[in-house]
């Protein structure tokens, strides 16, 4: 994971309880230390965010409780 994506993922982990309360079951887009978008579908989150931000500069994360944490950054690292 790139340092940029790690920073966004670390932000998600450190604010996970708050983010789950607001956005459980959604896909959030995190850039740096900010949630910049909330979507029902992962592909829509990626497509819309790519129109405003360069690939690899944001993380798309499915919001769920701590037991289910994972990330969807692999596609951006490979591009």
- CA–CA dist 24, 2 (Å, integer): 26
Report, as an integer, the average pLDDT of 50-72.
83
Is a pLDDT exceeding 90 seen at residue 77?
Answer: no
- CA–CA dist 58, 23 (Å, integer): 17
Look at residues 72, 70, 78 and name the one whose alpha carbon lies nearest to residue 39. 72
Instruction: State pLDDT tens for residues 9-41.
Output: 999 999 999 999 999 999 999 999 999 999 999
pLDDT (0 to 100) of residue 56: 93
Q: What's the pTM value of the predicted model, to 2 decimals?
A: 0.82
């Amino acid at each position: 994971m790139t340092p940029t994506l790690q920073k966004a993922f670390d932000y998600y982990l450190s604010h996970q309880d708050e983010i789950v309360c607001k956005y459980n079951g959604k896909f959030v887009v995190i850039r740096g230390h900010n949630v910049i978008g909330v979507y029902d579908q992962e592909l829509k989150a990626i497509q819309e965010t790519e129109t405003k931000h360069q690939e690899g500069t944001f993380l798309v994360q499915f919001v769920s409780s701590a037991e289910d944490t994972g990330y969807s950054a692999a596609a951006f690292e490979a591009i």
